[in-house]
Amino acid sequence: MQRFQSYIDGEFVDGEARFPSVDPATGKVWAEMPEARESDVDRAVSAAETALYDGLWSKLTATQRGKLLYKLADLVAANAQKLAELETRDTGKIIRETSAQIAYVADYYRYYAGLADKIEGAYLPIDKPDMDVWLRREPIGVVAMVVPWNSQLFLSAVKIGPALAAGCTMVVKASEDGPAPLLEFARLIHEAGFPAGVVNIITGFGPSCGSALSRHPKVAHIAFTGGPETARHVVRNSAENLASTSLELGGKSPFIVFADADLESAANAQVAGIFAATGQSCVAGSRLIVERSVKDKFLAMLKAKAEAIRVGIPSDMATEVGPLATKRQQDHVAALIDRSVESGARLVTGGRRPDGDGFYFPPTILDCDGVASPSLAEEFFGPVLSVVSFETEAEALQLANDTQYGLASGVFTQNLTRAHRLMKGLRAGVVWVNTYRAVSPIAPFGGFGLSGHGREGGLAAALDYTRTKTIWLRTSDDPIPDPFVMR
């Protein structure tokens, strides 16, 4: 039985209590995690505030912060396999994906390392002849970061990287479902030499840990990734401290395929877009919108590819789809499929959980043409694809935008002018054309509507962790005239 600790103020500590963590591949407890409660949260936030204003971190130059980030990036790269194995063990995400993804996470830290001393202020050409005015960009303050269990080292990097580049300090709450890789990542923060209190990493449950963190009076900004319902609680809590928020939430992303598309390429992208990560991705292309003239052909291609997917233990490099992260998630997926079939959706393949241990669920396709299926509106967060067809481009766009979400979208067509029209018409924060699920530290991502607000990645993310200060300097030696007149 492995035991993990929180990382608070530069020390590895136990929480007020401990709780078990379950291996999704077996359904058995494999580790004990530290359960942070309100007193732990307060200690972590206070440590972050001290580091921000009074500690060594506040005295480092931006270039020095960047060098620490470079060192962290090298440590992430050197320890990628160990971190990948922990993420696979604690969340069920397959090892072939965690290995590749975490190795790429190092590039995110390198990007923000290079950006640290390029976050600039400005000189304003003010309309008063005896004044010089500057804008300074300063750290926004102590940041509360709430990270989910899926792709957590990636989803924490797109928060930690830009926040550190901007000079902020932070408390990171790992999800109570699968926190092991983030708690282990704290050792790399420590080894890289970040001053005590700059990065604090804890885990715990919503009412006793997440709520205490998001409403803490010393928190200035909350960066949250998760579902809309939890986000509503976060926003309500932020009314206590008036913290700003950035929210990266769920999705019900449309994947549009026109008859002129390269269907083999589109089918491979659709399989990756919905079945990779066992469908546990906020950008999962979960709604296939396919031109009616090629629907049957394309659906047959997808059925064959889905049924050929190797479902197995996540630690095996040959496995292509592993288990869902929790029994709760497995139950949710099964129940939503049952409701969708009852509403008239036709099961093309999959749809029934297998016997045996672990939280497995097969790749599933639902034909929802002409049906008001709940699978078209509600997020599964599992390996389930819902399919509808269209006749015209206008109908395709209407179906794609018929959602409260707006995180990602995909378009497959060889018609360039059509692609440009759809790029403009799709109400989503990310539009992929003839590709899907591509990411880069240089490119921001984020959503519209119930998919949240704010952006992660790119320069935009770093600027979100700053606030501007306006500096006025009077250059005249003459006495200030009438004091009752604003100048």
Q: d(Cα 311, Cα 353) in Å, to the nearest integer?
A: 12
- DSSP state for residue 420 in the 8-state scheme: H
Other CB atoms within a 10 A radius of the CB of residue 487 amount to 11
35, 146, 175, 227, 322 from 408: Cα distances, Å: 34, 21, 23, 15, 23
Q: d(Cα 110, Cα 69) in Å, to the nearest integer?
A: 7
Tokens of 30: 């494999």
| 248 included as an active-site residue | yes
Please name the residue ranges forming H helices in 116-176.
152-166
Q: d(Cα 260, Cα 291) in Å, to the nearest integer?
A: 9
Q: Which of 35, 85, 97, 248 is catalytic?
A: 248
Tokens of 67: 């060098």
Of the CA atoms within 13 Å of residue 442, those in its CB half-sphere come to 1
Largest CA distance in the chain: 87
DSSP structure string for 358-427 = S-----EEEE-TT---GGGTS---SSEEEEEEESSHHHHHHHHT-SS--SEEEEE-S-HHHHHHHHHH--
The backbone region for 17, taken as left when phi is positive above 0, alpha when psi lies in -120 to 50, beta otherwise, is: beta
Total count of residues recorded for the chain: 487
Tokens of 185: 């990542």
Residue type, position 56, single letter = L
Q: Which of 168, 209, 282, 368 is catalytic?
A: 282
Residue written as tokens 């200030």? 480
Q: d(Cα 20, Cα 463) in Å, to the nearest integer?
A: 38
Other CB atoms within a 10 A radius of the CB of residue 119 amount to 19
The backbone region for 178, taken as left when phi is positive above 0, alpha when psi lies in -120 to 50, beta otherwise, is: left
Q: d(Cα 268, Cα 262) in Å, to the nearest integer?
A: 10
Q: d(Cα 487, Cα 485) in Å, to the nearest integer?
A: 6
Q: Which residues contact 129 (CB under 8 A, 6 or more apart)?
A: none
Q: CB–CB of 285/436 below 8 Å?
A: yes
From 322, 216, 286, select the one nearest 437 (Cα to Cα). Answer: 286
First to last CA, the chain: 69
- Which residues belong to the active site? 248, 282
